């Protein structure tokens, strides 16, 4: 069955959603556990696309196609993983900060995080600090990810961190930030736990923050 998992990772990398679904079913029919199919096939394929994206071998369109293929397999595995009570890598609450309407980068980060085994709660765009606080209280995530694509909206990240602190939930989550104008220095200045320059790095950072390691 190792060949099936290898083929699954290859077809996911190629963005072949139909083949990913077929191979996922074949792996399950062959007796593999849902968790083995997830880790050995889907996560492995997304790991490869993440590494190549970070290294400039593939670009956003290829990652989006691969992510759609990944969802073809995840749609089959999710109910089985739930039945087997398989814990995800972690849970992440994502949002573009208040005043910012950019969405593509955040969605790409969400796809890469799902490919790394995380449950993702996407709060969307123009997300005020209060909405992040509410989500942390209701969803009990391991991580909060904030995106800003405009220098004028970057202060919303600090206001959100401050709001989480005032609500008494800052210590329960790790916070990572990113977006075109955001830097490592800015992340440190506002008290974030990590900064990622792109979606692949965000998935690697998220794994590190929850103690699950980086790319394999």
Starting at the edge strand found earlier in the chain, the sheet holding 118-122 runs: 118-122, 90-96, 143-147, 174-178, 194-195
Residue ranges per structural domain of the chain: 2-83, 90-209
pTM: 0.86
Q: Which of 51, 66, 54 is nearest to 111 (CA)?
A: 66
pLDDT along the chain (216 residues), means of 10: 91 97 97 94 93 92 93 94 88 98 92 92 98 98 97 98 98 97 98 95 94 56
The DSSP bridge partners found for residue 92 are 120, 143
C-alpha span between 214 and 205 (Å, rounded): 7
Architecture field, domain 2-83: Orthogonal Bundle (1.10)
Tell me, yes or no, if the two domains 2-83 and 90-209 fold the same way.
no
CA R_g for the chain = 17
For the domain 90-209, what is the CATH code?
3.40.50.280
Residues 158-167: tens digit of each pLDDT: 999 999 999 9
Residues 79-117: tens digit of each pLDDT: 999 888 888 899 999 999 999 999 989 999 999 999 899
**Token pair of 75, please?**
């749609």
């Amino acid at each position: 069955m190792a060949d099936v998992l290898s083929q699954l990772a290859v077809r996911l990398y190629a963005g072949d959603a139909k083949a990913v679904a077929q191979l996922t079913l074949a792996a399950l029919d062959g007796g593999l556990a849902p968790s083995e199919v997830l880790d050995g096939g889907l996560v492995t394929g997304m790991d490869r696309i993440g590494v190549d994206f970070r290294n400039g071998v593939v670009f956003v369109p290829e990652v989006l196609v691969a992510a759609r293929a990944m969802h073809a397999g995840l749609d089959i595995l999710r109910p089985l993983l739930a039945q087997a009570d398989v814990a995800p890598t972690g849970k992440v609450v994502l949002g573009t900060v208040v005043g910012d309407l950019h969405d593509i980068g955040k969605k790409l980060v969400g796809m890469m995080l799902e490919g790394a085994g995380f449950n993702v709660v996407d709060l969307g765009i123009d997300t005020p600090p209060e909405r992040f606080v509410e989500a942390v209280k209701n969803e009990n995530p391991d991580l909060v990810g904030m995106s800003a694509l405009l220098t004028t909206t970057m202060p919303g990240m600090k206001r959100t961190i401050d709001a989480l602190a005032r609500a008494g939930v800052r210590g329960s989550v790790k916070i990572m930030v990113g977006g075109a104008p955001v830097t490592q220095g800015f992340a440190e200045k506002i008290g974030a736990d990590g900064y990622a320059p792109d979606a692949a790095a965000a998935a690697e950072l998220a794994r590190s923050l929850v103690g699950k390691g980086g790319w394999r």
